[in-house]
A and B are shown apart, each in its own frame.
Chain A
């Protein structure tokens, strides 16, 4: 079955994409508001939460959730992420396909209407968001920020990025700081709302069994009622290499240490970097997995990631405290092996096959397709068509891998170690 992909502009800096694939039993509609990461991040994050709690038509959380439940457990969700130098605030609705509605109801259209209502007709009191709800969502955002510590792997990752991208938008927290969240008022939340719907680039992505006929017009009508004044989204910049490697250690009363190393590159070739990352530490046949984890048993997890838009490769390990130095050295050594060309054609082929398999598998989930579309919009060098991406991966040469590995320079090393809480920079 073929996927039908269609993206078109429906208003000033508003784009509507629909991907129809008859194999799915559910449909998803996501409205992504994309803005440069700034100190407004906290207002946007709190607002995103507020908008999924109620709306003019369903003016309490209970009424809204009740109606969504009646629609066979339709979901209405918010998400706030940082992507390169951007903050992406998303509101999404997921619902079963109409053919599974037991009484023939048009559950897709009604769920879409609820999503539209939440975005364009929020529940207000005297023209402002109710103070009590705002206070609850501010507190929830602060709790979410603080809960980063619950997952030490994630905590170490973000702490490393904070150091690695110092002074850049990408160093800011996706949900703002607690102080910024605390300072949000009914007035600033309303300003953030106006900014979001009138001044922010929007990408609406619909995926599922439905053809989503007419939904573009419904969204176009809603946006046409606003006076849109959108500044073009600034280009995300790659992160410059520091003059000397930044080393930061933090101590916490924990059992296992974490090591995060950030390498920077100025190379702007996505596919060679993706394959090199796979060969180095992105698969179960990679150098880091097979050597550092399996052969040397230095750590429980050890992998490499790529933040292409920031020109950064992150290496992350969970390691016994006494092995931290040895692990850092060995991770660097494995990269050096690639630079020297010490990898077989077979290893290269395996990395490519793994990536190709994961690209093709993306087409088998609604969230995979939605994520792929958004990524290719934010990183235009990455094709939206999976087979185009597959061709890009397949064409990468040994020389390009060596070039990509050689372009990496160590920029930041963050360690989380057991001990009395203290930060040492």
Chain B
């Protein structure tokens, strides 16, 4: 199908974009890379009155060092994150996870800010935002604010962003040098959205005891889901296969009502979440120095 009629503006600055959003009487929508929004427009599932294209704003496309971590501009293309030497060095799971996003042709256009703002429950970047403790920098009419990723995702396709706000930057701490990580998903075909996925990080002390664990599931609930019960189980325990099996089983058990749709039943997603968590924890532990 063809997109419905809408007004279009391509502001040159964040300030100009904010005033366009603020002045809009009807529904406004920001377009960044457009790789999720264009299908919605073409299928007329989205019918905004005004489309604000932030792709012409200079200075929203960068990957920089920030206090040993990273600052990434909202308009940074996924393919640039995938190829960045700085990302690979500072946040290897961000680089690895990016390769699970659709296909190269999509990643050439898709942006990190757009993906996180869109907040698809099965998408890679929202899960990584929670797993890697991203700070989400937001510009609005009253100035800038910073939102923890843990507070950002509210429900399906819904975030803490107000209609007159723009996500402008992601800030990430550096990945702890001794920590291990693992990113896994199951999808029908390579490049499809995940039926279920997990992003896990772990630190292991010199005596082989887990001193930090983070488990974030995606594709199973309305938002990226931290499995704190399993994290607590790991903390202070000796890392070994039986522990990962227990954590995987616990992960399955904590999912009350996983998503159920034509792609996968709730039971299947519950099963996948447990298996993927077990495998991811083993891999993360193996990578932890």
A and B bind? no
User: Chain A interface (Cβ within 8 Å of chain B)?
Assistant: none
